[in-house]
Structure 1
Amino acid sequence: MATQPSLPINVCIIEDHADFRNTLRTAIDRTPTLSCFSAFSNAEDAFEHLSQSSSPDIIVLDLGLPGIDGIEAIPRLKELAPEAKVLILTVFENKTRVFQALGAGASGYLMKASGIKSIIQGIEDAHNGIAPLSADIAQMVFATFSAFKPQTNEAEISEREVEVLRKLADGSTRIEIADQLNISRHTIDSHVRNIYRKLHVHNVSGAITKAAAMHII
């Protein structure tokens, strides 16, 4: 029994620049796996059409639209076409715009400067569950999330260093700690230097304060 050919991915374009819209529409229709479902110059016309039509698979959305802004349009598009994935295609690299779009429900964010070939690949990736991001956008997103990585015991304070920290917090001197732990003063000094380096501090009070805030002691 012959295998039924898979249906093409239906794409809706919302882009106000006529030349770019037509270029993208032609490229989509020339791609065997894709088909241009419809194309509009503004969000309002797209809303009207989607309210009376079946949902596309992918909506390619420009942000700088006349009338309703692209970011404002995303929730309404998701309401009218809940099965569709919204793929941003724009010239804006502004971090705020990127996170506003992704936060509003966009499934990917591509730059027009990436070129038609990359855009076509991004549409196919979005349909296959891969969130397409232009290289610069991906770097921005990952850098932002890395900056907000929670501070935990990843400083890798050893058990012995924690023991030294606790004794310092109790008011013991380094000589006293060396005697209590039956190790040399040189070893205690080495532990303290490691603690300072791992906690990014420069004195005992700073180490104790930070260790307490991180629930190390």
Structure 2
Amino acid sequence: MQNDPSLPISVYIVEDHIDFREILCEALESTNRLQCIGAFSNVEDALHRLKKSQAPNIIILDLGLPGMDGIEAIPLLREAAPETQVLVLTVSENKTRVFQALGAGANGYLIKSDDIELIIQGIEDAYRGISPLSADIAKMVYATFSRFKPSNPEDRLTSREIEVIQALAKGMSRKEAADVLNISINTANTHIRTIYRKLHVGNVSGAVKRALEIGLI
């Protein structure tokens, strides 16, 4: 999916509270820069739409949803729409939930109590490839990463996973990396999710940064 700066940023909202969902959709539409093209109360409906329609640029995802849990849904959404940014917007600031979401492949983590202007800015940042984090979440993540001292992280990455992160470090897209390595995009996404988990990061830029720090690339 190509990002066209002349077009509004297309957004799905997956949120079970109808009032919040409608308010958020209206707020996005009012900017004229964002377009809410799908609003769903559960993940299953969003996945069904993705099978039939062009994927949005951004999926805004709550975690506490009926049916499939948001964290469980993240890798499925990423697999269904590999070029779409999945941005968590929830009430939970629980450390375990935060790292589960980022480890599952979320591109950012925002809190519903944030000002709407910050949420809109976070969506636009995610579209540009920046991983937005609410202020308190960012402090938690950075504090945890600063204490993370893996004894031998290379042993925890397979040779294929190293090849994948090296390809991404060269600026390749997921599809380009898959083509170069002669693997399917689904296999590439699986490797990338595993890399995120092993390196304790939540996005490609974080994985590349961590790989540079430990000498993998």
Q: Equivalent residue for 1:12? A: 12
CA apart distance, 1:141: 0.3
- What do the CA deviations read for 1:37-66 (whole angstroms, capped 9, x no partner)? 100000011111111110100000000000
Matching of residues 36-185 of structure 1 within 5 Å: 36-149=36-149
TM-score by length of 1: 0.66
Structure 2: how far apart are the matches of 1:5 and 1:122? 17
Q: Gapped runs of 5+ residues in structure 1?
A: 152-217
Displaced runs of 4+ in structure 1, greater than 6 A? Answer: none
Work out the percentage of aligned pairs sharing the same amino acid: 67
CA apart distance, 1:149: 3.8
Structure 1: how far apart are the matches of 2:77 and 2:5? 29
CA apart distance, 1:19: 0.5
CA apart distance, 1:5: 7.1
> What's the RMSD between the two structures over aligned residues?
1.5
SS in 2 for 1:92: coil
> What letter corresponds to residue 79 of structure 1 in structure 2?
E
SS in 2 for 1:37: strand
> What letter corresponds to residue 90 of structure 1 in structure 2?
T
Structure 1: how far apart are the matches of 2:148 and 2:107? 22
Structure 1: how far apart are the matches of 2:79 and 2:37? 18
Structure 2: how far apart are the matches of 1:34 and 1:150? 40
- What do the CA deviations read for 1:141-187 (whole angstroms, capped 9, x no partner)? 01101122469xxxxxxxxxxxxxxxxxxxxxxxxxxxxxxxxxxxx
Q: Does 1:35 align with 2:35?
A: yes
CA apart distance, 1:115: 2.1
Structure 2: how far apart are the matches of 1:86 and 1:148? 25
Structure 2: how far apart are the matches of 1:135 and 1:67? 30
Structure 1: how far apart are the matches of 2:62 and 2:111? 10
SS in 1 for 2:52: coil
Q: Work out which of the two has the higher radius of gyration on C-alpha atoms and give 1 or 2.
A: 1
> What letter corresponds to residue 99 of structure 1 in structure 2?
F
Higher relative contact order (CA 8 A, sep 6+): 2
